[in-house]
Structure 1
């Protein structure tokens, strides 16, 4: 049987399979920051600030006016899993929670019945550039979980399990486990009502790094899952007789072991797998429901309640330059990465 079912070129938004909705990949070479943690005014000339998705001077402002990012906006009916490999993200939400995470950290947020949050990308360094590499996955929720209480959890980089492998020629492969398990390693527990919290959903989110010329076999799994590999950085790989350049996704046969033969440059991948939810998906902007009637209910709730309203002084909320990595939860509990 074929091991590679489909090969697709990657765009800004990466097309995914059920239970995932899509993946947004952000790679921006932000300049030095100013006192407001944004770029100097010279970099804002010629941009439509507030809706800037054109990569000018190697970065975008997205919906930010002074600081790049996504000011306060709503979500309901799904989960966001945000991997910040380089740079930082400042989180604030309608529950009064806030935090700064980055340089390998992951935030897992179950939006459930509805939450407002902001995701800003502070340029904390004023003496050097502020590169950003960020993935945000939208993970659907089954109908029974679409109205759970919103909740977020931090996976600090220091705590995330990593599997280290060497091939027969001592080339190194590294697999960072955001969700799922591999060999003797198991990912951290997600939020309590997450789709990933049930083992039978076989949810896997891995960040894979391979040295030049490395070979590795992606293991077979349940024949019922959807399985995708996103090759976003490197030169070329060979999989099941196909030569594939970076910038492509591969839909894989879940029941087959698949060998990845890397080319002459280091390569980076995002791997996703999960049991399909197999329910109708009605998406309107930041809301996901199972029917038009349910969508209207979500929109009406948001219009009437604003999901609790915005407790901060501005929607484009950033934290102090020297705040460091932290999370303050809705109950006031403070959390920090583990000490080195």
Structure 2
């Protein structure tokens, strides 16, 4: 019996003026461990007149994780953070009771050709932290654990695994792992994982129990402890997972919470532009993403 319980095909989604490949949520699988949302951005070649512009928009009840493989994004938020993220670094923003942020191409790149490739991820918060004060952390690439064993390169982008811990200040047991190979390799890491797990193949192929899988698919494991696969040469895969929450997480637009009433109040606050609940973003005060009307009227 195969250990692949579900295969989720990457599907196109629009995040403003930029198309991404959405992996989670999926109708048959709303979350993997605490991961409730995964977008694969690019790889995209942007011309000198094309830029990423996601105006200020709100979040509650989650942490966002941005990880780039190519390109650059300038992050601003209502906490006062203003920082450029480059490949290998991590932006980790915890929304808690409410935060607003924007993501744009940095000014110095806006009139040049450029590339953009990476992951945008939402991680649910434990119930007792859903109303916490918002916070932001930027972790430089040099502070992310990277090591090599038997010709296999590992990077622990976030969480804990393999007896190591990432510098990203996560709020629950989880892992976000990059694995790279230059030559064909057999990977057996089930003993190092826990909770639920999913794999995304970025480059090359993986072979699991006689079946070959390539890119643009998220493979959900039935049993994380039986995580064994063969990677092709020049392969890159990402593993997402961890301990699921005991309570269901509801998602409406950019809001995540275990309490539907908190989401309903967030809808009203954003629609009314209540700046006590959702402060303005310093340096990016003149635009915002309106609440979709279909979301406002849906419970």
Alignment of 1:190-229 (within 5 A): 190=169, 194-196=170-172, 201=173, 203-221=174-192, 225-229=195-199
Task: Compute the displacement of 1:77 (Å).
Answer: 1.0
In 1, are the aligned partners of 2:76 and 2:284 still within 8 Å (CA)? no
Task: Compute the displacement of 1:83 (Å).
Answer: 0.4
Which residue, 132, 152, 155 being the options, matches 2:136? 152
Larger Rg: 1
Query: Are positions 1:96 and 2:80 aligned together?
Result: yes
Paired position in structure 2 for 1:136: 120
Alignment of 1:289-308 (within 5 A): 289-302=257-270, 303=272, 304-305=274-275, 307-308=278-279
Paired position in structure 1 for 2:280: 309
RMSD between aligned residues: 2.5
Give me the whole-angstrom Cα distance separating, in 1, the residues matched to 2:116 and 2:187: 28
Give me the whole-angstrom Cα distance separating, in 2, the residues matched to 1:182 and 1:96: 32
Which residue, 145, 148, 163 being the options, matches 1:161? 145
TM norm structure 1: 0.72
- CA gap 1:182/1:286 in 2 versus in 1, 3 angstroms: closer
Paired position in structure 2 for 1:233: 203
**May I ask how many residue pairs the two structures share in their alignment?**
270
Alignment of 1:1-340 (within 5 A): 2-11=2-11, 12-15=21-24, 16-31=31-46, 39-40=48-49, 67-122=51-106, 124-125=108-109, 129-166=113-150, 172-190=151-169, 194-196=170-172, 201=173, 203-221=174-192, 225-234=195-204, 236-263=205-232, 265-302=233-270, 303=272, 304-305=274-275, 307-314=278-285
- CA gap 1:141/1:130 in 2 versus in 1, 3 angstroms: same
Task: Compute the displacement of 1:287 (Å).
Answer: 1.0
Between 176-185 and 87-96, report the one with greater CA deviation.
Answer: 176-185
In 2, are the aligned partners of 1:92 and 1:99 still within 8 Å (CA)? yes
Structure with greater strand percent: 2
Instruction: Write the deviation string for residues 144-171 of structure 1: whole angstroms up to 9, x where unpaired.
Output: 11110100111100111112122xxxxx
What runs of 5+ residues in structure 2 fail to find an aligned partner? 12-20, 25-30, 289-299
Give me the whole-angstrom Cα distance separating, in 2, the residues matched to 1:260 and 1:24: 24
Task: Compute the displacement of 1:231 (Å).
Answer: 1.0
TM norm structure 2: 0.81
In 2, are the aligned partners of 1:216 and 1:261 still within 8 Å (CA)? yes
What runs of 5+ residues in structure 1 fail to find an aligned partner? 33-38, 44-66, 167-171, 318-340
Task: Compute the displacement of 1:124 (Å).
Answer: 4.1
Instruction: Write the deviation string for residues 3-39 of structure 1: whole angstroms up to 9, x where unpaired.
Output: 332233222111242421120110143345xxxxxx3
- CA gap 1:128/1:310 in 2 versus in 1, 3 angstroms: closer
In 2, are the aligned partners of 1:280 and 1:291 still within 8 Å (CA)? no
Give me the whole-angstrom Cα distance separating, in 2, the residues matched to 1:91 and 1:81: 12
